[in-house]
Amino acid sequence: MPSNPVVQPPRKKARAPKAAIPLHAATPLALVRRDLQDPLQLQRAAYLAQPNPSFEERKADLLKLKAFVTDHRDALVEAISADYGHRSTHESLFAEIFSVIDGVNHTLKQLKKWMRPEKRHVDLKNFLGASNRVTPQPLGVVGAIIPWNFPIWTSFNGLICTFAAGNRSMVKMSENSRHVAALLMEKIPAYFERDKLAFFDETGGVGVEFSQLKFDHLIFTGSGQTGRAVMAAAAANLCPVTLELGGKSPAIVYDDFPLQTAAERLLVAKCFNA
């Protein structure tokens, strides 16, 4: 009796290779995450390759910040005024531009001292012959979320501290600082490589995604309500956070204080940054 022929199973049709999703077809959220993750990884790799910049390198970064606000002083003042609707040129110069320059100058005078190791007390009864010291070291990549209020002073004051400490930074500007953010994003690359400093504007959910990035430190200036959300997002990454919350300046006027004088002083304070 002849044996049964071997029955070959039907061949499966070969699957066509998956076509790469074109960039324009990707979801907006995916693009936002990519645009944030790429510079973060770039900066972290640069930090790990050179974790402790020298005094000269930090000095060079600080001088670049000073050069930027000096070179683009008029453009920055115009951008701030455009975002505010109108803002006094003199106020922007003194409150934002000159204060940044002064901050750089002060930091340069103190930087060598700040970089020195500091001695700490040792209990010689338990650690006979021991010595103790604290050596300042950079953290890595510092994120900063900036409000619309004093946008240049707030962002650059933080950068002065960040660069003086030997770190790198990603900075997200406010949704109400469109003109300032556009100017910074366009002009800063001529002064800093992206693995050192990157600016971002508030578009397409950047704010939420930004606070969820795995920074080594996160700085936030704004309202208490938003600050809670930022801190909760950072906590998931065990990221330390520095918060500067609230912008109200309540005043108490006593019955025996001249009402005219009180009104004048309150009006000056209210209109100073209007």
**Rounded CA gap, 201 and 183, in Å?**
10
Angle at 168 between CA 144 and CA 113, to 5 degrees: 105
Helical segments of the chain, H only? 28-49, 55-71, 73-84, 89-92, 98-115, 151-164, 178-187, 206-211, 224-235, 259-271
Note the pLDDT of residue 273. 66
Residue 263, both tokens = 């009104």
Q: What does the buried/exposed string (b/e) look like for 82-119 if buried means 16 or more CB atoms within 10 Å of the residue's CB?
A: bbbeebbeebbeebbbebbbebbeebbeebeeebeeee
Phi, psi of 84 (to 5 degrees): -75, -20
State yes or no: pLDDT of 13 exceeds 80. Answer: no
Note the pLDDT of residue 274. 61
What residues does each domain of the chain span? 28-115+132-247
State yes or no: pLDDT of 4 exceeds 60. Answer: no
Please report how many Cα atoms fall inside a 13 Å half-sphere around the Cα of residue 125, on the Cβ side: 0
Mean pLDDT of 190-204: 94
CATH of 28-115+132-247, picked from 1.20.1240.10, 3.40.50.10950, 3.40.720.10, 3.40.605.10, is: 3.40.605.10
Q: What is the mean pLDDT of the chain?
A: 89
pLDDT, tens digit, 9 for 90 and up, residues 45-78: 999 999 999 999 999 999 999 999 999 999 999 9
The fraction of the chain above a pLDDT of 90, given in percent, is 74
Classify 132 as helix, strand or coil.
coil
Residue 146: CB atoms within 10 A of its CB come to 28
Residue that wins the pLDDT comparison between 203 and 265: 265
State yes or no: pLDDT of 1 exceeds 50. Answer: no
Give me the count of residues in the chain.
274
Q: What are the residues facing 220 on neighbouring strands?
A: 145, 243
**Rounded CA gap, 1 and 265, in Å?**
114
66 close to 179: Cβ distance less than 8 angstroms: no
Mean pLDDT of 145-158: 96
**Rounded CA gap, 218 and 139, in Å?**
11
Q: What are the residues facing 241 on neighbouring strands?
A: 218
Report pTM: 0.82
Confidence of residue 269 (pLDDT cuts 50, 70, 90): confident
